[in-house]
């Protein structure tokens, strides 16, 4: 089958939404799927795209797609939210955050509720926006809530480098930045019976596909780094099936128009310059060794955890919420007793219902009876 051109020749998104090509790809998948297959997507963007485009309806019943820990808002631990709330109560503090984090429930409150109570909490789009707030408010302490994987962490690194270059003393980072490969290793070690991964395309634009080489090498799982259009996802599924059928798992790049084996070296260098890896908590997983990023040598003065040492009581989440099990791929959102009843996007009980990349939010938005 002739697929859309890559690189500069690919002009329109519509080329990757061509109905005839997608249906032909579905036919090839059905013809090739000779056994049962379980594939996990570990990017919230993939989860949203899979359900938005109705991918499951195009697949035979013997192919199962499950969501993993690919939503940065979802995997952010309750303890982090509680610390952010404590910092919002700090005198002269301005909390700068991405919008999705506002409604994530903490143990007793949320940033949204704190803002309603009078805390100075501002929604923005990047660490550089937070840096600008610090520059124009020299008498206030600006604390940026940095979340996200390798995709957003380089931007935060640039913000910290600029803060140091400008000798700002009122700019701080409470880091919840994480890296994806250790979480994928944790999924496998957790005992999930999966045949392969739909690997995160946006992360791989930074890290390069080589960040996932260890999965087929050490664990004999198929891997395809994938784009976000329906034809991307369908082609990736076919590639995964061929790997499983051949019993020769490897790492392939489907998303060649954006991803290379080496990735973005400038972004990688910025991460290495600013951050060090640390053991950090992921919702549903607990502590995953060396999976977090915190300010390293030369940037400790910007580390809000170190500077403010926010103290919180033992954090707790709604015990009925199964967000953690959803993130590990153990359960689906529809298995939660709170789903679409007590827990909705307008009134979320768990982090997975908040973000547009959250599995519960996606399942709710595209549920058959919605």
Q: Domain range spanning residue 231? A: 41-313
CB atoms within 10 A of CB 278: 15
116 falls within a domain: yes
Residue-level pLDDT at 10: 47
Helix (H, G, I), strand (E, B) or coil at 369: coil
- Token pair in block for residue 277: 């890896």
178-198: b or e for each residue (b if 16 or more CB lie within 10 Å)? bbbbbbbbbbbeeeeebbbbb
**Same domain flag for 127 and 264:** yes
- pLDDT tens sequence across 103-113: 999 999 999 99
- pLDDT tens sequence across 266-323: 999 999 999 999 999 999 999 999 999 999 999 999 999 999 999 998 889 999 999 9
246 falls within a domain: yes
**Same domain flag for 248 and 345:** no
Structural contact between residues 43 and 200, judged by C-beta atoms closer than 8 angstroms: yes
Q: Count how many domains the chain has.
A: 2
What is the full DSSP assignment across 51-101? HHTTHHHHS-TTEEEEE-S--HHHHB-HHHHHHHHHHHTSTTEEEEE-GGG
**Same domain flag for 209 and 345:** no
Alpha-carbon gap, residue 330 to 187, rounded angstroms: 10
7 falls within a domain: no
Q: How far from the centroid of its chain's Cα atoms is residue 335's Cα?
A: 22
Closest to 147 measured CA to CA, from 87, 43, 75: 75
**Same domain flag for 79 and 167:** yes
pLDDT in tens, the chain (370 residues): 555 444 444 455 788 999 999 999 999 999 999 999 999 999 999 999 999 999 999 999 999 999 999 999 999 999 999 999 999 999 999 999 999 999 999 999 999 999 999 999 999 999 999 999 999 999 999 999 999 999 999 999 999 999 999 999 999 999 999 999 999 999 999 998 999 999 999 999 999 999 999 999 999 999 999 999 999 999 999 999 999 999 999 999 999 999 999 999 999 999 999 999 999 999 999 999 999 999 999 999 999 999 999 999 888 999 999 999 999 999 999 999 999 999 999 999 999 999 999 999 999 999 887 6
22 falls within a domain: no
Residue-level pLDDT at 11: 55
Closest to 283 measured CA to CA, from 43, 47, 70: 70
10 falls within a domain: no
Structural contact between residues 21 and 44, judged by C-beta atoms closer than 8 angstroms: no
4 falls within a domain: no
Closest to 284 measured CA to CA, from 41, 90, 11, 77: 77
19 falls within a domain: no
Beta-bridge partner residues of 222: 196
Percent of the chain with pLDDT over 90: 92
User: What does DSSP assign to residue 12?
Assistant: -
Helix (H, G, I), strand (E, B) or coil at 224: strand
**Same domain flag for 178 and 198:** yes
**Same domain flag for 334 and 186:** no
Q: What does the chain come to in residues?
A: 370
**Same domain flag for 64 and 82:** yes
**Same domain flag for 136 and 64:** yes
Residue-level pLDDT at 7: 46
Structural contact between residues 244 and 284, judged by C-beta atoms closer than 8 angstroms: no
Residue-level pLDDT at 9: 45
Alpha-carbon gap, residue 191 to 187, rounded angstroms: 7
Please give, one letter per residue, the 3-state secondary structure of 115-173: HHCCCCEEECCCHHHHHHHHHHCCCCEEEEEEEECCCCHHHHHHHHHHHHHCCCCCEEE
181 falls within a domain: yes
Angle at 164 between CA 93 and CA 123, to 5 degrees: 40
Mean pLDDT, the chain, rounded, equals: 95
**Same domain flag for 175 and 288:** yes
**Same domain flag for 90 and 117:** yes
CATH code for position 105: 3.40.50.11740
**Same domain flag for 349 and 223:** no
């Amino acid at each position: 089958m002739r697929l859309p051109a890559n690189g500069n020749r690919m002009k329109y998104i519509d080329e990757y939404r061509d109905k005839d090509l997608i249906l032909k790809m579905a036919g090839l998948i059905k013809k090739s799927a000779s056994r049962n297959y379980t594939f996990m997507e570990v990017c919230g963007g993939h989860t949203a795209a899979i359900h938005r485009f109705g991918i499951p309806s195009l697949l035979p019943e013997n192919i199962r797609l499950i969501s993993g820990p690919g939503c940065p808002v979802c995997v952010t631990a309750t303890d982090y939210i509680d610390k952010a709330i404590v910092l919002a109560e700090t005198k002269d503090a301005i909390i700068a955050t991405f919008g999705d984090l506002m409604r994530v429930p903490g143990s007793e409150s949320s940033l949204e509720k704190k803002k309603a109570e009078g805390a100075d909490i501002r929604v923005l789009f990047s660490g550089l926006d937070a840096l600008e707030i610090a520059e124009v408010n020299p008498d206030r302490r600006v604390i940026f809530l940095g979340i996200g994987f390798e995709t957003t962490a380089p931007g935060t690194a640039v913000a910290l480098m600029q803060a140091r270059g400008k000798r700002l003393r009122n700019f701080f980072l409470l880091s919840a930045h994480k890296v994806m490969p250790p979480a994928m290793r944790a999924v496998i070690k957790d005992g999930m019976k999966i045949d392969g991964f739909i690997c995160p395309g946006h992360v791989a634009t930074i890290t390069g596909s080589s960040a996932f080489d260890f999965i087929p090498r050490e664990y004999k799982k198929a891997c395809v780094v994938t784009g976000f259009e329906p034809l991307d996802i369908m082609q990736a599924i076919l590639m995964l099936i061929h790997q499983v059928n051949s019993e020769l798992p490897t790492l392939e790049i489907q998303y060649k128009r954006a991803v290379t084996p080496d990735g973005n070296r400038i972004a990688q260098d910025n991460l290495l310059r600013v951050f060090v890896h640390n053991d950090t908590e992921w919702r549903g997983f607990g502590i995953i060794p060396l999976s977090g990023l915190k300010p390293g040598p030369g940037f400790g003065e910007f580390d809000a955890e170190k500077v403010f040492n926010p103290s919180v009581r033992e954090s707790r989440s709604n015990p009925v919420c199964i967000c953690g099990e959803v993130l590990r791929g153990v359960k689906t959102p529809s298995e939660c007793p709170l789903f679409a009843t007590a827990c909705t996007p307008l009134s979320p009980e768990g982090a997975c219902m908040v973000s547009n990349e959250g599995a519960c939010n996606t399942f709710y938005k595209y549920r058959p009876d919605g």
